[in-house]
Amino acid sequence: MTTPNTAPSLVAQRMRDFFTAKSITANVVVGWREPGKRINQGPGQANRVVITPGDDAGNGGRLVGTRKMTTNPAPIATFAALLTFSVWAHDPTNPNDEELQIVATWQLLENVLRALRWTVQADAKTQEQVPVKWTKPVDRSFGRELSFQLVVSGPLFGETYNVVMPTVISPPTPPET
């Protein structure tokens, strides 16, 4: 399957590649139906990251104009896409120990942030705070979940045109005498 050129799909694929390279066993999935699935609620079924386009209110981000029109295809806009990340982790050594579940989730969050930095060269701005929300567990023995939102920006391109783009040819530099 070819990965579509969308922010959620590209981030997910690159995060999977990062996790594979670092031997991190968490699954990375994309979609609106994924957070509601109950597959996390069972031993050995947690440790996953869900990437959802937009937020619960339906906000998806912003389209911003672009200046660089000299490439082919030319970018027609920049999409500052809002993505919601849900991080769910589970420590099976003692499923009823809440501290272990929090530590497992915290560690997976750190790996998600490392993957994002590697994937989209994202750095959290020190003056900008990104809220992180812990969900209430249905059953503490199934791990813990937290979520946060980030904006990932990238160009949207127009059509590729079969035209010759003129280039400036500089005359040769005369030899020194």
7-157: CATH topology is: Alpha-Beta Plaits (3.30.70)
As beta bridge partners, residue 144 has: 89
Query: Is 6 in a helix, a strand, or coil?
Result: coil
Q: Token match 């295809």: residue?
A: 73
pLDDT in tens, 134-159: 887 666 667 788 989 988 887 777 77
pLDDT in tens, 18-49: 999 999 988 899 988 776 665 554 444 568 89
**Model pTM score:** 0.77
* Rounded CA separation 152/135 (Å): 24
> What DSSP element (H or E) covers 119?
helix 98-120
